[in-house]
Chain A
Amino acid sequence: MKKSVVAEWRRYEDRYRLMGSVCLLCKENFFPRVTHCVRCGSSDVRDRLFLREGEIYSFSKIHVSPEQFQKQVPYYVALIKLDNGPVISSQIVDVGSEKLFVGMRVYAVFRKVSGTGEQALTYGIKFRLTKK
């Protein structure tokens, strides 16, 4: 589907800065930002900037991708548990020959996510393996 520039613009803050929400009533964290708490129903939620470090909760190496990611194949996708935040979905980049495992430490970096040629470019947070 063609990307809508407006729809991408709405998520700039979340995607560029790792900005999520915290529920002031029950303390649940969310990413991306929400307008009310999914857990307790409260609309008393505030923006919260999450720390840029965490660990791999699960991962996969994608060998067959949708069209707009074909230049990146193969690439790693992962669920990452942020140190002071929720589990979020992203990619792991610059892996080289290292073997990934559950629990591995990672940190956030800013990267292009998708888009080539005539498609709109999108950017966001991806993760790199933390050096020991």
Chain B
Amino acid sequence: MNVFVSGQYMTKFGEHFEKSLLDLSLEATFGALTSASLTKDTIDAIVVSNMLSDTLSGQGHLGALISGSLGLTVEAFRVEGACASGGIAVKKAVDMLKAGTHKNILVLGVEKMCDHSSSETTQALTNASDAEKEAFYGITFPGLYAMMARRYFYEYQIGQAELAAVSVKNHYHGARNKKAHFPKEISEKVAMTSSKIADPLRLFDCSPISDGAAALVLSSHEPQSQRKPVRIVGSSIATDSVSLQERKSLTSIKAAELAGKRAYIEAGISSNDVDVAEVHDCFTIAEILALEDLGFFKRGTAGYATMQKKTYYDQEMPINTSGGLKSCGHPVGATGVKQVVEITEQLQGTAEGRQVDNPQYGLTHNVGGSGATCAVHILTNTL
């Protein structure tokens, strides 16, 4: 059973003080429907991805909220897996299409984070860690990734310069994406002298707090539009312990390795076949781990490869052409859906200003928490 991306859209990521959770959701939804040349009445299910609406907007029950706001009565529900909510939503829609029970599914990722002070939002994001083992002791989210970075420094002898290279590259890409939250280039010096958040991580090692939404229409039949058809040929989720203290290693994310392996098998390809990838760079160290967990670079070498500029959009392994979470922004529930939007555009040849040369396979890697959930998708424009 084939699964096609019929339509895709993302709102600009950033501060949307004038727009509500619902405003952003409907903009993305109608954007994706227009892109698919479909009307809302052709949608037969809705999967919503969101992490924080209960905590920050006092709003739950998002499936019906979106369905009702579209004047529909279809099956609709929300999924939550911290920052991996978007990837989970895509996978659930893929599963439903493969089961043959639905034909056109709207996948909507949305997050509204900027209505609150950064300390309130940071507090809400801490829900993704282990409340009793980690958050209890004042271990913040950046603190968890900082401990992964510190251990990586110890095991592989890299330092802040390698981390900064990830941030500089992602801002270089983001500067070429008008939907990005921070579409401007930065220097290594700016990255390495920015304020300390959780040592060794500085401000420019961390993805920002953003508002935004992204939507896809996934279909079981080939779309009508003139663009190149893009299919999802690998779709996988794996999980591991929520707390870091129970992991065998801090320098790889087992859930990502497993989800990657399973997705490669399903797609019938290997990591060598991937031409472009969107990976979950919530923190710079996370991109380095991702590149190794997915098999793009050997253990301990992804930092060096990034310093050598191998992951720029016109080089051998283009990573995060959207600007990644760092520069494009990270409206948590929207991110995993946005990654699929970006890869679809790359495979259709419409990623203006940052287009990878004729890619055939693209991959998305969406991580929840400090690595407890990972969703990997593989897309292709080959027949």
Residues of A within 8 A of B (CB): 1, 11, 31-32, 38, 57-70, 72, 74-75, 77-79, 86-91, 102, 113-114, 122, 124, 126
Query: Cβ of B146 < 8 Å from any Cβ of A?
Result: yes
Q: How far is the CA of A79 from the CA of B137 in the complex (A)?
A: 11
| A102 in contact with B123 given A89-B243, A113-B138 (CB within 8 Å) | no
- B134 on the A face (CB < 8 A): yes
Closest to B149 in A: A60
- CB interface residues, B 123-159, toward A, < 8 Å: 123, 126, 132-140, 142-143, 146-148, 150-151, 154
Asked if B340 lies at the interface with its beta carbon under 8 angstroms from chain A, I say no
B140's contact among A58, A66, A86, by CB below 8 Å, is which? A66
Q: For residue B298, give the distance in angstroms from its CB to the closest CB of chain A.
A: 22
Contact between B151 and A57 (Cβ–Cβ < 8 Å)?
A: yes
Known: A66-B126, A77-B143. A91 touches B198 (CB 8 A): no
Known: A66-B122, A66-B123, A87-B245. A60 touches B198 (CB 8 A): yes
Q: Which of B134, B137, B142 has a CB less than 8 Å from the CB of A113? A: B137
Q: Which residues of B contact A114 (CB under 8 A)?
A: 136, 138
Q: Which 7 A-B pairs have the closest CB atoms?
A: A60-B146, A61-B199, A69-B138, A58-B147, A58-B151, A102-B154, A63-B196
Residue from the set B119, B133, B150, B200 with the largest chain A CB neighbour count within 10 Å: B150
Chain A residues with CB under 8 Å of B148's CB are 58
> B195 touching A59 by the CB < 8 A rule?
no
B244 CB–A CB distance under 8 Å: yes
Q: List 16 A-B contacts (CB under 8 A).
A: A38-B241, A57-B250, A58-B150, A60-B143, A61-B196, A63-B196, A64-B122, A64-B142, A65-B140, A66-B122, A66-B123, A66-B135, A66-B138, A77-B139, A89-B243, A102-B154
Identify 8 new A-B residue pairs, CB closer than 8 A, beyond the known A62-B139, A69-B138, A113-B138.
Answer: A57-B151, A60-B200, A61-B196, A63-B197, A66-B138, A77-B138, A87-B245, A87-B246
- Assembly CA distance A21 to B197 (angstroms): 34
Chain B residues engaging chain A, CB cutoff 8 angstroms: 119-120, 122-123, 126, 132-140, 142-143, 146-148, 150-151, 154, 195-201, 241, 243-246, 250
Q: Which residues of A contact B136 (CB under 8 A)?
A: 113-114, 122, 124
B84 vs chain A, min Cβ distance (A): 21
Residues of A within 8 A of B146 (CB): 60
Residues of B within 8 A of A31 (CB): 245
Chain B contacts for A126, CB-based, 8 A:
137
Q: Say whether B147 contacts A79, CB under 8 Å.
A: yes
A93 shortest CB reach to chain B, Å: 11
Q: Are A79 and B245 in contact (CB under 8 A)?
A: yes
Distance A65 CA – B120 CA, assembled complex (angstroms): 10
